[in-house]
C-alpha cells in the first residue's frame, strides 16, 4: 500500500472532529437521561425533565459553536498549506545579485581552451553540458542537454537532445552544434581536452534532435568527460567569428548569459529567463526554472586576507577560503558558515621536467622526492588541514585511487628513514652538488598565490637542508606560469595543484601522453614521451569498461609516474567555502563531483 492510499483510507474511515463534537453532545443527553431514570424524581433537589432538556440543548449548541470554530481553523490551515504548496511549486524568489569571491584569476571563459582548473568556477554559469553530473558524479538526463542516450555497441553513443533549448543569442541548440563542438575540441590548436576526445572520429546528425558519436575504439572515459570542458556546449559560429576574442564574449545556453570579464576584477553574468532547467533541486521534475538571482558576479580578489574581510563585511555571498588559517574567523562569524568537500583537489604536486638536465637523471629526481617533507609543510602552511597523499594524482574517493608503494610517504613513513634514502639516491646519481650550485643550482616555479609561495619556499629549504642543493625559486602570474613550465621548459620543477577529476583518463591523457598539454617533457613544441609504455597504458585504461581492470592499469601508470620521479603528489586538498547564512542549498548542491562550485541551484532567503 502506498503512503497516499494509506492516508486516503484513514481519512475516509475516521470521524471528523465536528461529528465527534456533536456525538459528544448527544452522549451527554443520554447520560443525563439514564441518571434521571436511575434516581427517580421524588427528590426536591433533583433536576426536572425540562431542565435536563435545556441543559442538553445548551451543550449541543456549544458543540455546534466549537464545530464551526474547528471548521474555520481547518479551512485556514488548508489555505496555508495550499499557499505553501504554491510557493514550493513557484520555487525560490529571485534575488537581485549573487556575489562570489575567488582568490585566483581565470585564464579564459572559453571552456575548450582554458588551462587552469579554476576556470571552471568562472565558465560553468554560462554553459550547459551534453551530459551533466550531480554532486555524486552521477550522470543525470534531467540536468543534461541530452535527455537520453544509448549504446548500440561499445563504439557508438546515440544522444537524444532536449527540445526547446536556445543559445543566449537566440539560436536553437541542435545536433549540428554537438558536431561543431566536437570538431572544435579535437581540432582547435589550443584545445585542452583534445587528447581525451580524439577517439571520437565522427559525429552523425540524422536529424536536429539526434547526434551520434562514432568512436575509433571503446572508451569508458567519454561519457564521464562530457560533464567537463568538452561537454560544455558553446556557440561555435560565434567562436569562429571572434577567434581568440571568443573567451571575452562567450555564448552558451547556461542559466546565466555573459555580460563582462574585467581582468583581475570580476566576471559578471545576468539571469537567463528562458533557461530550461528546473530547480531548486538537481533533477527536479516540477518547480521553477533556475537560476534564482538576476545577476551573478564572481569577484577576483587575489589578496587572501582582503578576500576574507570583504566577505565578512557582507559584500559576498560565498567565498573560497584559500588558507585554512581563516577558517576560525569564518566559523565564529554569526552570519557565515563553512561548507567543505574532502579530497576536492590535489593541493600540492611537484612536477619534474625530466628532459631538462640535470633532472634527466632519475636518481636525482628521486633524491629530491625523498628529501621533501610534506607533513611538515601541511602543519606549517596549512594548519594540518590538508590530507596526506599516499597515492598519485587521483585523490581518495576517485576510481583510480590506490596507495602507490613507491610514494616516499608510503615507503618511508619515518622522516629520518626517508631523508637517509634521499642521500642514498643522491650518491647513486653521481651529481656533483657543489659544481651544480656553482652553475646556479636548479629552478622552481609556481603561480602567484601566498599559500603556494610559502609551500614552495619550505620545500626549497628542505631540499637545501637534506641534499645541499641550491633551489632558485621564482613565482609567476598564472597566465605566465603554465606556458613557462609546460610549453617553454624554462624551469626544472614546478609546485602546482590539480583539480579533482573522477574520470582518470582526463589527467592521464593530458599529463602523461606524448601529446598531452601538461606533459612537462613536451616543451618547446617537441613531442617527447615521458615513458615509452605510457601512451599504450593510457589507451588501455580508457578502452576497458571493467572497473577493476581500469584500476589495475592506472596502478601501473602510477608506478611509472611516481616510481621514476616524474610527478610527486604530496598533499590532497579540502575545499573550504564560506557561505553566508542567507544562501540556501549550498550543502546539497554547491560542489560538483570534481569539487568545484556549481551555483545554478543556490538561492537566498532574503529575496
> Using one digit for the tens of pLDDT, what is the confidence trace for 242-282?
999 999 999 999 999 999 999 999 999 999 999 999 999 88
* Structure confidence at residue 339 as a pLDDT band (50, 70, 90): very high
Collect all residues with Cβ–Cβ distance below 8 Å to 385 and sequence separation of at least 6: 324, 327, 378, 574, 576
Q: Residue 210: which of 139, 270, 160, 136 has the closest Cα? A: 160
Q: Is 53 exposed, middle or buried (0-12, 13-18, 19+ CB in 10 A)?
A: middle
Estimate the share of the chain in helix, then strand, then coil, as percent rounded to the nearest 5.
45, 20, 35
Which three-class secondary structure state does DSSP give residue 447?
strand
**Stretch 26-33: mean pLDDT, rounded?**
38
Q: Which helix (H) or strand (E) holds 465?
A: helix 450-467
Residue 207 DSSP symbol = E
| CATH number of the 128-253 domain | 3.90.76.10
Question: From CA 481, how far away is CA 347, in angstroms rounded?
Answer: 17
Cβ pair 234, 127 in contact under 8 A: yes
Cβ pair 349, 570 in contact under 8 A: yes
Q: Which three cell numbers stand for residue 384?
A: 594540518
Cβ pair 504, 554 in contact under 8 A: yes
| 88/370: higher pLDDT | 370
| 270/544: higher pLDDT | 270
pLDDT, tens digit, for every residue of 454-463? 999 999 999 9
- CATH 3.10.105.10 domain locations along the chain: 343-574
Write down the number of H helices and E strands in the chain.
Answer: 21, 21
The percentage of the chain sitting over the pLDDT mark of 70, rounded to a whole number, equals: 86
Which three-class secondary structure state does DSSP give residue 280?
coil
200: number of Cβ within 10 Å? 20
| 25/510: higher pLDDT | 510
pLDDT, tens digit, for every residue of 285-300? 888 999 999 999 999 9
Collect all residues with Cβ–Cβ distance below 8 Å to 44 and sequence separation of at least 6: none
The CA distances from residue 117 to 124, 170, 206, 572, in Å, are 12, 30, 35, 15
Superfamily of domain 343-574: Dipeptide-binding Protein; Domain 3 (3.10.105.10)
pLDDT, tens digit, for every residue of 598-607? 999 999 999 8
265: number of Cβ within 10 Å? 14
Amino acid at each position: 500500500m502506498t503512503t497516499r492510499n494509506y492516508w486516503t483510507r484513514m481519512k475516509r474511515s475516521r470521524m471528523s472532529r465536528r461529528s465527534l463534537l456533536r456525538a459528544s453532545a448527544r452522549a451527554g443527553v443520554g447520560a443525563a437521561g439514564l441518571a434521571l431514570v436511575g434516581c427517580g424524581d421524588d427528590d426536591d433537589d433533583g433536576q426536572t425533565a425540562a431542565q435536563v432538556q435545556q441543559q442538553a440543548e445548551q451543550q449541543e449548541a456549544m458543540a455546534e459553536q466549537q464545530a464551526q470554530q474547528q471548521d474555520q481553523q481547518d479551512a485556514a490551515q488548508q489555505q496555508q498549506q495550499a499557499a505553501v504548496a504554491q510557493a514550493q511549486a513557484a520555487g525560490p524568489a529571485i534575488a537581485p545579485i549573487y556575489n562570489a569571491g575567488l582568490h585566483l584569476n581565470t585564464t579564459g571563459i572559453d571552456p575548450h581552451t582554458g588551462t587552469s582548473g579554476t576556470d571552471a568556477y568562472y565558465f560553468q554559469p554560462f554553459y550547459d553540458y551534453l551530459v551533466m553530473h550531480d554532486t555524486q558524479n552521477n550522470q543525470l538526463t534531467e540536468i543534461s542537454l541530452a535527455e537520453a542516450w544509448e549504446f548500440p555497441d561499445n563504439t557508438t553513443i546515440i544522444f537524444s537532445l532536449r527540445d526547446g533549448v536556445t543559445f543566449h543569442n537566440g539560436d536553437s541548440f541542435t545536433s549540428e552544434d554537438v558536431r561543431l563542438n566536437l570538431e572544435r575540441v579535437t581540432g582547435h590548436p589550443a584545445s585542452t581536452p583534445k587528447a581525451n576526445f580524439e577517439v571520437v572520429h565522427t559525429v552523425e546528425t540524422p536529424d536536429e534532435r539526434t547526434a551520434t558519436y562514432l568512436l575509433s575504439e571503446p572508451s569508458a572515459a567519454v561519457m564521464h568527460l562530457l560533464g567537463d570542458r568538452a561537454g560544455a556546449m558553446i556557440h561555435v559560429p560565434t567562436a569562429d567569428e571572434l577567434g581568440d576574442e571568443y573567451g571575452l564574449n562567450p555564448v552558451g545556453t547556461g542559466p546565466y548569459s555573459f555580460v563582462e570579464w574585467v581582468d583581475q576584477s570580476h566576471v559578471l553574468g545576468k539571469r537567463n529567463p528562458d533557461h530550461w532547467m528546473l530547480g531548486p533541486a538537481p533533477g527536479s521534475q516540477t518547480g521553477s526554472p533556475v537560476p534564482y538571482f538576476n545577476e551573478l558576479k564572481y569577484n577576483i580578489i587575489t589578496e587572501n586576507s582582503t578576500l576574507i574581510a570583504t566577505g565578512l563585511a557582507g559584500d559576498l555571498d560565498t567565498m573560497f577560503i584559500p588558507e585554512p588559517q581563516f577558517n576560525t574567523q569564518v566559523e565564529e562569524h554569526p552570519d557565515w558558515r563553512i561548507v567543505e568537500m574532502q579530497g576536492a583537489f590535489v593541493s600540492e604536486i611537484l612536477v619534474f621536467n625530466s628532459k631538462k638536465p640535470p633532472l634527466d637523471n632519475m636518481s636525482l629526481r628521486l633524491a629530491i622526492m625523498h628529501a621533501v617533507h610534506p607533513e611538515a609543510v601541511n602543519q606549517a602552511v596549512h594548519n594540518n588541514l590538508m590530507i596526506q597523499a599516499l597515492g598519485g594524482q587521483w585523490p581518495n574517493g576517485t576510481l583510480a585511487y590506490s596507495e602507490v608503494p613507491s610514494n616516499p610517504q608510503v615507503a618511508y613513513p619515518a622522516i629520518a628513514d626517508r631523508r637517509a634514502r634521499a642521500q642514498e639516491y643522491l650518491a647513486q646519481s653521481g651529481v656533483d652538488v657543489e659544481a651544480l650550485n656553482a652553475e646556479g643550482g636548479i629552478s622552481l616555479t609556481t603561480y602567484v598565490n601566498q599559500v603556494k609561495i610559502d609551500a614552495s619556499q619550505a620545500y626549497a629549504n628542505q631540499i637545501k637542508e637534506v641534499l645541499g642543493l641550491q633551489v632558485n625559486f621564482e613565482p609567476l602570474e598564472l597566465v605566465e606560469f603554465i606556458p613557462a613550465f609546460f610549453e617553454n621548459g624554462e624551469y626544472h620543477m614546478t609546485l602546482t595543484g590539480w583539480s579533482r577529476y573522477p574520470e582518470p583518463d582526463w589527467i592521464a591523457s593530458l599529463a602523461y601522453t606524448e601529446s598531452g598539454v601538461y606533459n612537462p617533457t613536451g616543451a618547446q613544441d617537441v613531442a617527447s614521451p615521458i615513458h615509452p609504455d605510457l601512451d599504450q597504458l593510457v589507451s588501455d585504461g580508457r578502452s576497458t569498461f571493467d572497473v577493476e581492470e581500469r584500476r589495475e592499469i592506472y596502478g601501473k601508470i602510477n608506478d611509472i609516474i611516481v616510481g621514476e620521479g616524474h610527478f610527486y603528489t604530496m598533499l590532497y586538498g579540502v575545499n573550504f567555502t564560506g557561505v553566508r547564512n542567507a544562501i540556501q542549498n549550498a550543502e546539497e548542491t554547491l560542489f560538483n563531483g570534481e569539487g568545484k562550485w556549481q551555483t545554478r541551484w543556490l538561492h537566498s532567503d532574503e529575496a
